[in-house]
Amino acid sequence: MNFLEKRIQKDGRILSDNTLKVDQFFNHQIDPQLMKKVGQSFADYFKNDQITKILTIESSGIAPALMTGLYLNVPVIFARKHKSVIQKNNIYTANVYSFTKKTNNTISVNKDFINSNDRILMIDDFLANGSAISGMIDIISKANANIGGAGVAIEKKFQKGHQYIQKNGIKFLALASIASLDNGKIAFAHSK
């Protein structure tokens, strides 16, 4: 097991057969040392991919994205879930179905921050059915920018997102890969 899988085993909580809670160290209370390793791991994997910017979605994606941006030395953009009053027209938008809230959100990014010269690395905390990644891909294509890859801290391999990313031929890294959450047990897809 790698560092993240060990921590998930220790402090992750299963909410249902398809939802894991990592509030203790990842997306409510945050362990900065762990997040630093997350950023280093993504940066190491994508270091030769000419990444110019990182894109994530607020709020849980910001911490891993920021750490990755620090190590790749590139800016980090987070798509907003709520439209800002000072940012009405100059935005790219996409639709994202929220896995945890079961609602549709419009995410938006200011057009000034992505352009056709960019090669974007998408980062998020979880991959479930791929709606968040698909929304980010939509924004990248609206900006005529290029996809450099996708990194998620935790993928639930039994849901549809993994296949969606593979089908689209996107370079991909999941730091922890969960095969199942059935019967109150976290089963990892492989041990690193």
Would you state the structure tokens that stand for residue 174, as one six-digit string? 């999941």
Residues 84-103 contacting ligand 5GP, CB under 6 A: 99-100
User: Is residue 130 a contact point for ligand 5GP (CB under 6 A)?
Assistant: yes
Cβ closest to ligand 5GP, residue 46 vs residue 126? 126
User: Is residue 128 a contact point for ligand 5GP (CB under 6 A)?
Assistant: yes
User: Is residue 114 a contact point for ligand 5GP (CB under 6 A)?
Assistant: no
| Residues pairing with 55 in the sheet | 77, 122
H-run or E-run covering 36 = helix 32-46
User: Is residue 131 a contact point for ligand 5GP (CB under 6 A)?
Assistant: yes
Residues 17-46 contacting ligand 5GP, CB under 6 A: 19-22, 27
Cβ closest to ligand 5GP, residue 118 vs residue 124? 124
For residues 192 and 1, is the Cβ–Cβ distance under 8 A?
A: yes
Per DSSP, the residues of 110-172 read: EGGG--TT-EEEEEEEEESSSHHHHHHHHHHHHTT-EEEEEEEEEEETTSSHHHHHHHTT--E
Binding residues for xanthine: 20, 27, 156
- Binding stretches for ligand 5GP (CB under 6 A): 19-22, 27, 57, 60, 99-100, 124-132, 161
